[in-house]
Amino acid sequence: MERKLASYFGTDGIRGEVGIEPITADFFLKLGWAVGSVLSEKGKASVVIGKDTRVSGYLFESALEAGFLSAGVDVGLLGPMPTPAIAYLTQTYNATAGVVISASHNHFQDNGVKFFSAKGLKLNDDDQAKIEQKLTEPMISVSSDQIGKARRHEQPRGRYIEFCKSTFDRSAELSGLNIVIDCANGATYHIAEKVFSELGANITVINNSPDGVNINKDCGATDTQHLQQVVLETKADLGIAFDGDGDRLMMVDHNGELVDGDELVFIVAKAWQQQDRLTNNIVVGTKMTNLGMRHALKGVDIKFIEADVGDRHVMEEMKKHGAILGGEGSGHMICLDKTTSGDGIISALQVLEVLAKSQSSLSQLKHEMVKYPQVLINVKTQEKVDLANHQLLNQTIKTVESDLGDEGRVLIRASGTEPLIRVMVEAKDAQVTQQSAEKLADTLR
């Protein structure tokens, strides 16, 4: 009996361990056919396919390509490219949809797939439902004279590099700025250095030699220890870290201190407000957004809108409220006046533009917002947990929330991409935060 696709879509596409359903060649073959069949309902369709640097990307690229061709869809192959580059290139090449083969910040054993519409936006729930329905039907190829054609596009990298540079105000001077860039051995390895060096910065690049298995391994936006060390050793002004598919950004100041997604969004939000650029004076975050950022935004009269976790949900709330800036503490930042998706490189350029124009250091701007201590504990699960009806857990939550009062908060949610329950606690006191989180996690275990 075939399972429905809806159970596969997490907060960011379909993702899992290679070789285990649904991350198999036969599933990707049928997925390509199903998506292609839905796209073809309105006439002749075309897609572009990009991937990150995982060794399994070759396997799934071929499977998806065959599926699309069998549905009569033309395919343009882009090779290794950041996820946000595919959002942009889908529009540039006038494709009906864009496809990214990536498991984002996960290690090489995992892979997955994300889709973009012709406008460079993540597919909505209606589109996913149509694909889900198609996957329950037998896979029947179009006739031989209607099979799609495939080609490898030339110069997608150059197009994307120039696009990134176009989002930076050239009146802001980067010359003399010493920057260390960590590419996470991922999809920005052949792009990031060119963007920042061509804008005048002095660049040192690390973790830019992908071998198919070292993506995100002890490096990048999910593990900044190496970057922090190199920034201090080279006496750099700052460091920039991307994740494997280039849609996340973390930064490091000259003291080696991490500057996360919440802090970066606040830095940009405050500057844009002062420049009268922050449309509707709104910033969108998520349930995970730090309490310190919420208070800091309130302190400068910027309205905060809370979305569900995941950049797709952030985008939905941004469009709903007419906002141009949103993001997550994990490093997704969306600048809707610049691009249609979270883009690590473009987000970093917006932060650098603020630094250059204000003539401030990243450290100075970081400390304009005081983060509350946050403890996040991931509790592994073997099966789905009904959090709403977990009586003992809910009793413990009430006790912890009562103890914290207005100076803290609790959030417990199931991961959308992994078999985990995420327990998060924020409070002014670090020791209380840790003890509260452990109490909740022990209750779940």
Instruction: Measure the CA–CA gap between 30 and 195, rounded to whole angstroms.
Output: 37
Q: Cis bond leading into 84, ω under 30°? A: no
Q: Quote the distance between the C-alpha of residue 288 and its chain's center.
A: 14
Residue 175 is among the residues annotated as catalytic for this protein: no
Angle at alpha carbon of residue 28, lines to 27 and 34, rounded to 5°: 90
Distance separating alpha carbons of residues 275 and 281, to the nearest angstrom: 11
Distance CA 6, CA 14 (A): 10
Q: Tell me how far apart the alpha carbons of residues 258 and 419 are, in angstroms, rounded to a whole number.
A: 28
Contacts of 304 (CB under 8 A, 6+ apart): 282, 283, 284, 285, 289, 293, 294, 297, 298
Which amino acid does the sequence have at 224?
Answer: T
Q: Which element (helix H / strand E) includes 242?
A: strand 238-242
- Give me the half-sphere count of Cα atoms (radius 13 Å) on the Cβ side of residue 250: 25
| Among 249, 285, 247, residue whose Cα is nearest residue 266 | 285
Where do we find the tokens 């959030």?
411
C-alpha dihedral sign at 222, 58, 7, 120: positive
| Residue 377 dihedral angles phi and psi, to the nearest 5° | -120, 125
One of 37, 104, 341, 347 is an active-site residue; which one?
A: 104
Q: Which residues are catalytic?
A: 104
